[in-house]
Amino acid sequence: MPVLGVKLKAQLKCIYTNARSLGNKQEELEAIVRQGSYDLVAITEMWWDNSHDWSAAMDGYKLFRRDRHGRRGSGVALYVRECFDCTELGDCDDKVQCLWVRMRGKANKADILLGVCYRPPNQDEEADEAFYKRLGEVS
Beta bridge partners of 41: 15, 79
pLDDT value, residue 49: 58
DSSP alpha helices (H): ranges in 1-139? 26-36, 125-138
Q: What is the mean pLDDT of residues 91-96?
A: 66
| CA gap 48, 75 in Å, rounded | 7
Mean pLDDT score, 2-16: 66
Q: What is the pLDDT of residues 32-90, one digit of tens each?
A: 888 888 899 988 877 665 555 445 778 899 988 887 655 555 778 899 999 999 998 87
What pLDDT does residue 121 have? 78
Instruction: Please state the rounded mean pLDDT for residues 116-127.
Output: 82
What integer pLDDT is reported at residue 127 of this predicted model? Answer: 81
With vertex at residue 73, the alpha carbon angle to CA 43 and CA 38, rounded to the nearest 5 degrees, is 10
Q: What domains appear along the chain, each with residue ranges and CATH number? A: 14-138 (3.60.10.10)
pTM: 0.77
Q: Give the pLDDT of residue 54.
A: 47
pLDDT for res 29: 81
